[in-house]
Amino acid sequence: MEDRSNAEKAELPLTALRDGESGIVTSIKAGSGMGRGWGFKKRLLDMGLTPGTIVTVVKSAPFHGPLEVFVRGSRLALGRGMAQRIFVEKKK
Amino acid sequence: MNEKKLTIALAGNANVGKSVVFNYLTGLHQHIGNWPGKTVEKAEGTLHFKGYTIDIIDLPGIYSLSTFSMEELISREYIAAERPDLVINIVDASVLERNLFFTLQLMELETPMVMALNQMDMAKKKGIKIVHKKLEKLLGMSVIPTVAIKGTGVYELLERSIEIIEKGGKNSPKIKYGKEIEGRIKKIAKLVEKIQFRYPARWVAIKLLEGDEQVEEEIRKINPEILLTTERLSKEIEEIHGHSCPTVITSDRYEIAGKIAREVQQIMPQISPPMRERLHTLTTHKIWGYSIMGISILAIFYSIFTFGSYASGLLNNFFYGWQPIFKSVLGVKIVGNLVWGAMEGIIAGVTVALPYIVPFYLILYFLEDSGYLSRIAFLMDNLMHKIGLHGKAFIPLMLGYGCNVPACLGCRIMETKRERLLAGFVVTLVPCAARTVIILGLVGAFVGVQWALALYAINLLIIFVLGRLAFKALPGEPTALIMEMHDYRMPHLKTVLNQTWFRLKEFIKIAFPLIIVGSLVIKLMDLLELLNPIANILSPITVTWLGLPTVVGITLIFGVLRKELTLIMLVPLLNKTDLAEVAQVLGPIGIVVFTLVTMFYIPCIATIAALVREFGWKKALFITVFEVFFAILVGGIAFKLLMLAKIWSS
């Protein structure tokens, strides 16, 4: 588990990564508390996008389509709206 | 001999070969229905083994046991409340970490378990070696390596399952979280132990810390103080980690899964990307991906429609060949006519179901099992977002071009109720095979192919406009695509065939009763000579507003049974011998208006039945009434516009 100092480093939305780049998940900004958006945040966590996880953007579909990411040994398709709410720290 | 009864549930992620195992175990002794009161499918089958009658329940393929979807709720409720004798957790060995995350959650439900470490062959191909004995030790449960598509290991799996049950079905051991979490779980669990609750206390404690709404709700009714304690403790965890407590729990669980996975597997680096990787890259490519998708969809439709119309014609001739015999036996009096009416209903059903629906399902399941459907969903996600849906909705939409009934049922792949309804509504606007018969057979043949294509384009446009409006009108938030794209693989033929067979049975069960009753009602109306008066009542709409012959009122009634009847019935009703003469009576404008109306005016009776089943009769009625008015509106406007254009051009 990461400590808080990570949040102070450059946080980027996952969509800012270019094809082939990787990042470490810092947070998911999808609704605070348990209200709206919570279900989808939980969904992303359940699919393995927990803080500290390495995510690789394989490619993004054209015309602002979804992202193909590689996480925890499997391939996920993430809608762009969802991917914008996943924040990562770019991995060199 | 009195056989002892056992219940075994199959649980696991989507696409791990669960249905292959299920089919292998139960063969054709399956029953597919719904979970009581829910529109979630329940697949159940029986098997006889070593003197036991074993009831196998195939739980939905899911990734977690939270409250995200109905499937997840049903699965956990089933395991906790119904208490099967054993749960077989089917795991994809090639994606071990993600699968173990689910395994850990199953273990928390404290149920006797066995793991089927499936797709060992795929793992091997990916260079992953798993020491299953070590996994067995770390998890404290039996692990059987299997390759279900070849049947490897399935017998041992069953044998071991029985062995465990016979030994008294020891519960799976507990998995420990980090120290600071574990202590707090225990505190809450102690409080939960004092109340009566159908779930294990420790599980409840974990779920409360995860912020599970359903569990919170129920505990609040029993003892709200537990929630206060939970809130305090989860704040403490948040303080320690700097993330919300649910995030911490999920992360920790993944951490444990990852650690176990790393300990039991060895991954050999691969030299060149294998075939399935290259295929994946190609089929999701921004140019090649769309081209391949377009070509495959066109090829599929072309072959299905060619085969369908040929086979449909053959079947029709075959059945109608019996008509004289029927008539001579039953006579042409009321009874004979009614019986023949019911027969026509059955014929209508069969001539649609067999030639169009069977091949459609075969291809669909073939594509799904291979993994291609998820790539299509990936490519189409952006477009589907325009109507508030996501990529997966493209699949029922595509199915709709074959037949709206399976398309409506196919909307279940959407996660939320709102999305299902939205997709269900949109799907009924898609011109199915029957409507295609009219578009191509009337417009295409007598007005011009470009007009037929234009009608398809107008249809698509209307789908998008109405879909968007419905999306704005329906309360709730738009959702997003979160989907695993599993590796390409060879589909398992037997599973594909089985699924097609059970879908066909489902179709017959839903559609046939109403088609038969509908046929009888119309036949009765015909015998009571009610059709002409009805057509006359409708004439302000059909004649004045739409500019069509009066008899169209009658054929539109027949069209409720199946849409192509609107066209076929016109021939005798207009006293003509073939379609060319009908086309002459209607004229080009009439043809276009007639086709537009038929395209939208009502979902056919079988589709209405499917809508009722999926969304309840109120919503089904609303969709039906809306579409009737909408079709009349569109038809009328088209008529006026085309008339104007005609005057203007001459």
Helices B493-527 and B358-370 meet at what angle, rounded to 10? Answer: 150
Residues 6+ apart with CB under 8 A from B245: B209, B210, B211, B234, B235, B237, B238
Q: Provide the domain count of chain A.
A: 1
Count Cβ–Cβ pairs < 8 Å, chain A vs chain B: 132
Q: Do B377 and A77 touch (CB under 8 A)?
A: yes
Residues 6+ apart with CB under 8 A from B425: B466, B467, B470, B623
pLDDT, position B520: 87
pTM for the model stands at 0.89
Whole-complex ipTM: 0.88
What's the rounded mean pLDDT across residues A40-66? 91
Residue A32 is part of a domain; what is its CATH number? 2.30.30.90
> Between residues B193 and B326, which one has the greater pLDDT?
B193
To the nearest whole Å, the CA of A78 is away from the closest chain B CA by: 5
The model's confidence at residue B2, banded by pLDDT at 50, 70 and 90, is low
CA B179 to chain centre: 43
CA B476 to chain centre: 21
Domain around A72? 5-90
Smallest CA-to-CA distance from B597 within B645, B537, B546 is with: B546
pLDDT, position A9: 62
pLDDT, position B63: 93
Chain B contacts of A46, Cβ < 8 Å?
A: 63-64, 66, 68, 101, 250
CATH 3.40.309.10 fits B179-267, yes or no: no
Helices B245-264 and A38-46 meet at what angle, rounded to 10? Answer: 10
Domain residue extents for chain B: 4-166, 179-267, 288-452+476-481+492-512, 522-649
Name the average pLDDT for chain B: 91
> Per CATH, the architecture of B4-166 is what?
3-Layer(aba) Sandwich (3.40)
- B213 CB within 8 Å of a chain A CB: yes
Quick: pLDDT tens for B467-478: 999 988 887 776
Quick: pLDDT tens for B576-634: 888 889 999 999 999 999 999 999 998 899 999 999 989 999 999 999 999 999 999 99
Please tell me whether residue B645 adopts helix, strand or coil conformation: helix
Indicate the burial class of B36 (C-beta count within 10 angstroms; 0-12, 13-18, 19 or more): exposed
- Is the pLDDT at B156 greater than 70, yes or no? yes
Q: Do A51 and B97 touch (CB under 8 A)?
A: no
Distance CA B120, CA B143 (A): 12
pLDDT, position A3: 47
Quick: pLDDT tens for B430-445: 999 889 989 998 999 9
The model's confidence at residue A37, banded by pLDDT at 50, 70 and 90, is low
pLDDT, position B353: 74
Distance CA B130, CA B142 (A): 14
Q: Do B391 and A64 touch (CB under 8 A)?
A: no
- Is the pLDDT at B270 greater than 90, yes or no? no
Chain B contacts of A77, Cβ < 8 Å?
A: 374, 377-378, 381, 391, 481-485
Which of A51, A74, A77 shows the shortest C-beta gap to B251?
Answer: A51
Chain B contacts of A14, Cβ < 8 Å?
A: none
Report the share of chain B in percent with pLDDT over 70.
99
Are B148 and B20 a contacting pair, CB within 8 Å? yes
- Which tokens in the block code for residue B371? 């993994």
Please tell me whether residue B116 adopts helix, strand or coil conformation: strand
The answer to which of A75-79, B29-33, B271-275, B455-459 has the lowest mean pLDDT is B271-275
Are B388 and B477 a contacting pair, CB within 8 Å? no
Which of A51, A62, A81 shows the shortest C-beta gap to B480?
Answer: A81
